[in-house]
């Protein structure tokens, strides 16, 4: 059966992203994808070659949309919003399910790294690239904080980045596991305080 005339490949990749995000790579079958995208197996193979190729495109789509949106939030505001508040708000946003969204999905990149990151080189390159973007965004924010005098002059920025990055990964896993958001907020506040910021009032 030929593809429908109104077939939108970009929309199909976005829908596949949602399915892989919910279920993971191994738990998603070609039939599942066909049902989600309203494509026959032959049409899907003709368009995307195979499940793995479609998964890589889905991961790229997520990085270009969701990951980019997360990175945009981790920037010190031009109006001088305190770095501690930018950091805390960003970390809370990462583990807060927006209204109408599905709980417990976590981060697609983190989920993928834990499922396939040690066995699939193409996936690993993509997840590590996404993680590096997060590290660089954290580094830029902390450098801004030190320049403003909000962070101790002697703070080791590289060490602080690794601490925060590891905390974020743990938070995403805990959010996916359905842990109490209030307890996650407590962990976030402790992580922010550990940096020695001059103003750590979360209000």
Contact 91, 191 (CB under 8 A): yes
Q: Which domain holds residue 131?
A: 74-203
The CATH number given to whatever domain includes residue 2 is: 1.10.10.60
pLDDT at 6: 55
Helix (H), strand (E) counts: the chain: 10, 0
Tell me the per-residue pLDDT of 2-43, one tens digit each, with 9 for 90 and over. 454 456 889 999 999 999 999 999 999 999 999 999 988 888
pLDDT at 90: 93
Out of 32, 57, 82, a domain closes at 57
Domain-embedded: residue 63: no
Tell me the per-residue pLDDT of 69-88, one tens digit each, with 9 for 90 and over. 887 888 766 557 899 999 99
Domain-embedded: residue 64: no
Domain-embedded: residue 68: no
The pTM score is: 0.85
Question: Same domain, yes or no, for 203 and 116?
Answer: yes
Tell me the per-residue pLDDT of 102-119, one tens digit each, with 9 for 90 and over. 667 889 999 999 999 889
């Amino acid at each position: 059966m030929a593809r429908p005339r109104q077939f939108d490949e970009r929309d199909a990749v976005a829908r596949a992203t949602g399915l892989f995000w919910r279920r993971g790579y191994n738990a998603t079958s070609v039939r599942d994808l066909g049902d989600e995208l309203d494509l026959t197996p032959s049409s899907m193979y003709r368009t995307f070659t195979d499940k793995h190729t479609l998964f890589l495109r889905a991961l790229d789509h997520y990085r270009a949309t969701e990951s980019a949106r997360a990175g945009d939030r981790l920037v010190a505001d031009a109006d001088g919003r305190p770095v501690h508040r930018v950091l805390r708000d960003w970390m809370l946003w990462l583990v807060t399910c927006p209204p109408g969204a599905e709980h417990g999905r976590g981060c697609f990149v983190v989920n993928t790294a834990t499922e396939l990151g040690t066995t699939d080189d193409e996936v690993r390159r993509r997840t590590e690239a996404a993680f590096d973007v997060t590290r660089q965004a954290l580094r830029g924010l902390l450098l801004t904080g030190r320049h403003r005098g909000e962070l101790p002059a002697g703070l080791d920025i590289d060490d602080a980045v690794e601490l925060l990055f590891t905390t974020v990964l743990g938070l995403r896993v805990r959010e996916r596991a359905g842990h109490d958001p209030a307890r996650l907020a407590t962990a976030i506040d402790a992580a922010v305080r550990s940096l020695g910021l001059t103003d750590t009032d979360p209000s």
